[in-house]
Amino acid sequence: MIGIIIKSIVKITFFLMILMMWTQTTSASITNASLGEINVHVEGAQRTKDRTVESLVGKCLEKENYKSWESIDSTVLGQCLSNSQLFESVEVRVHKPDIDVTVEDRWTLVPGLFAYSIDQKRSIGAAIIDSNFLGYGKTVGVSGAVSTDGNSFSLFYLDPSINFSNFTVRTAFNQSSTELDQYQENTIIYAYLKREVIVNISPGYRITPTLGLSVLINYMDRRYEKVSPYTTVPDNYWSYSTGARLAYSNADYKLYYNNGVSAQLAWLRQVHRSDESSNVSQATAAFEWDQVLFKQHALQLALNAASLTDNGNAGDVLMFGNAKGYRGIEPNGLWTRNIAAVSADYQIPVKKMPDGIFTVAPYVDYGIYTPVSPASGNTYTAYGVGGYLFINAISMPGVVGLIIGRNEEFMGNFIAFQFGYGY
């Protein structure tokens, strides 16, 4: 029965993906309420469709709320187009009733590897990701990974503007088999093997140029197995969940930082689960503020928080580690139901290259959480420095980074390497 449900959901997901990909229209001009009919002329786009650029121009004009042609700032408009992360460079020229846009496409079809190594945990995987699918600014990808703890496979699709409208959709399929270890400092105090299948669909709507609302629909199937020497495991179950996500973004993309503010609130509640445990609800919040300082140094401040209701099932806990805000913690090594983590990074550009930049960034992380085991703590602090390589010509989901630091409450002194999905 569960297999049939999964296959049905996957079929629906792929049908929606295909529908969103191909329901495209063509247009030679755009209309703005204050500026009237606008002719957009696109040059240099080898892969991105002209209609995609025209749509981005229309949304950027709406975001900046220009009331007259004389008020249009070509530099600001060009930066707004760059925020799509589709282009290596953008140049805009405005002369009523025309807007000329010259772009250089980024390499958005990225087949490659991603990996991390931290303490005794290692992972390597491969992915094919296209963040400008068919030239329409959609993201589609497939990835798989093997690690010292297990393996994973995923498919995902993101459409930030269905048929160039304000409607959006995200959908993903994830399957994994992972040994999960709970740590007290650098000692494992409990572990189990979790086999998991997750299917989620998230249709949404862009309320304003900077604010979006989406509905969350989620199916999850979890199976647990014992890991020696531990003799207990959580109960197997499958569940359906629904919820909502509110996302705000008013930041300019600058390769190694995003100048401005972004925030997100999400809530997800199980509406049915197959075991006898109570349905759980999860709330998450994220906030990031990046500010450029002198000599293009960038201060990055972030806050992440999450809370999960307690139903007594050890399989329903939040797990964190090996990410910004949780550096110096083994992957999935911190188990909790309530957490708040803050981080500060100070990005210093060291070497600029034609197609990228190398930075060095001191950082500090601090977290406070509710432990699920009396043997574990409730706060941690991590600090250190990282070196990162950001590549402009490639639309890469992350960076190449080497991070060193100390987290006394978990790993102590540590060195972490990350490729493809950086901090």
What does each of the 423 residues of the chain score in pLDDT, given as a tens digit? 445 445 544 555 555 555 444 444 334 578 888 888 989 999 998 889 999 999 999 999 999 889 899 999 999 999 999 999 899 899 999 998 999 999 999 887 776 666 667 767 777 877 888 889 989 999 998 988 888 788 889 999 999 999 999 999 999 999 999 888 888 878 888 999 999 999 999 999 999 999 999 999 999 999 999 999 998 999 999 999 999 999 999 999 988 899 999 999 999 999 999 998 899 999 999 999 999 998 899 999 999 999 999 988 888 999 999 889 999 998 888 999 999 999 999 999 999 887 788 999 999 999 999 988 776 679 999 999 999 888 877 765 456 778 999 999 998 999 888 776 443
Report how far Cα 112 is from the mean position of its chain's Cα atoms. Answer: 18
Q: Are residues 276 and 413 in the same domain?
A: yes
Q: Are residues 340 and 360 in the same domain?
A: yes
Asked if residue 180 is part of any domain, the answer here is yes
Parent domain of 53: 33-104
Q: For 204-254, give the DSSP string.
A: EEEEETTEEEEEEEEEEEEEEEE-TT----PPPEEEEEEEEEEEEEEEEE-
Angle 225-317-339 (CA atoms, 0-180°, nearest 5)? 150
Q: Are residues 263 and 325 in the same domain?
A: yes
Q: What is the pTM of this model?
A: 0.84
Token output for 269: 């509640």
Q: Are residues 82 and 141 in the same domain?
A: no
Q: Are residues 157 and 59 in the same domain?
A: no
Which CATH number goes with the domain that contains 75?
Answer: 3.10.20.310
Q: Are residues 410 and 292 in the same domain?
A: yes
